[in-house]
Amino acid sequence: MVILVILTGAGYLTASGNWQVYAKPLYAVQQWWNGEENAIEEETKELTARQEADSEEEITDASEEFTEDATEIMATESDGSSGEIHETTENKQDDIQEEPITYRKPEEIEYVSVEDDYFRDAVFIGDSRTVGLYEYAGLEDISTFYASTGLTIYKLFDAPIVEVEGQKQKGTVEEALRENNFSKIYLMIGINEMGTGTVDSFMETYAGAVEHLRELQPDAVIYLQGIMKVTTERSGKGDYITNEGIEERNERIAELADNVNIYYLDVNPLICDETGGMEASYTYDGVHLKAQYISIWLDYLKSHAVDKLLLD
């Protein structure tokens, strides 16, 4: 608007020939206008410089603040003194569930040799093989035997096989173990189950039986005995009893031993020949030991005992 007025006035003065009269005032106006422009330009430069300075100051402050925070975090991680970070660590530790304690199998088991008296507080549980041990090992007046021909793991606790003093009716292993306490349990069973189910189904029941024995006799050492093999000739008949099947079951039975409360014993190396089957001269039917060779089994048990005092 000011420029329009000036231009209008300049045109009028030129046309009227009075330009020089108003030259000085116009010059003053021109100087004033140039001064305003310069002032605006200076103010703009000053404002720009101030903004740049403020920006640099903010960047510097932010950098210093970041450096201080980083230093504090590093110090916290080194001495664990920060409440927030320490609390986070504690929360993570709380989220970690404690794993159940498991026993590690010792690399070497320290067996001791014992005499017959060691079996005074022992119970032998099993099938016809254990019946043979009862009849020919000389332990019938020392140890307790819960054994019966044809006994299987599936009927271990339910079959009425235990003689009850003063009664004609026999009791079950379940009842007997609830009424009596033993320091050692010897279990030899599995030959009669070879033709029933699968290895997995057998082992599921077998493992459950071992666990139940632990419940009934928590203070007893449990000896799991590997199933005795049959002769190579008997194994080759092609029916359900084979040494390959026995070996597979024995491998699985051995896995149940923790060598702390449960031990695995295997007399097979002492009664088998170079073919891997029971020595033919040791048996009368290819399955059971003759009376005179029961002592091999007994001597093996006597040389593979654990001292309960050492376990405690």
Q: What is the 3-state secondary structure (H, E, C) of the chain?
A: CHHHHHHHHHHHHHHHCCCCCCHHHHHHHHHHHHHHHHHHHHHHHHHHHHHHHHHHHHHHHHHHHHHHHHHHHHHHHHHCCCHHHHHHHHHHHHHCCCCCCCCCCCCCCCCECCCHHHHHHEEEEECHHHHHHHHHCCCCCCCEEEECCCCCHHHCCCCEEECCCCCCCCEEHHHHHHHCCCCEEEEECCCCCCCCCCHHHHHHHHHHHHHHHHHHCCCCEEEEECCCCCCHHHHCCCCCCCHHHHHHHHHHHHCCCCCCCEEEECCHHHHECCCCCECHHHECCCCCECHHHHHHHHHHHHCCECCHHHHC
How many domains does the chain divide into?
2
Give Cα separations from 235 to 71, 208, 231, 251, 276 (angstroms): 77, 28, 6, 18, 10
Range of the domain at 215: 116-311
Asked if residue 139 is part of any domain, the answer here is yes
Q: Is residue 17 part of a domain?
A: no
Residues 121 and 38 in one domain: no
pLDDT, tens digit only, all 312 positions of the chain: 444 444 444 444 444 444 343 444 444 434 443 554 454 455 545 545 555 555 455 444 544 554 455 445 444 444 444 334 344 444 444 444 444 434 445 557 999 999 999 999 999 999 999 999 999 999 999 999 999 999 999 999 999 999 999 999 999 999 999 999 999 999 999 999 999 999 999 999 999 999 999 999 999 999 999 999 999 999 999 899 999 999 999 999 999 999 999 999 999 999 999 999 999 999 999 999 999 999 999 999 999 999 875 554
- Does 220 lie in the same domain as 73? no
Domain end among 62, 77, 92 = 77
Query: Domain holding 223: CATH number?
Result: 3.40.50.1110
pTM of this structure: 0.67
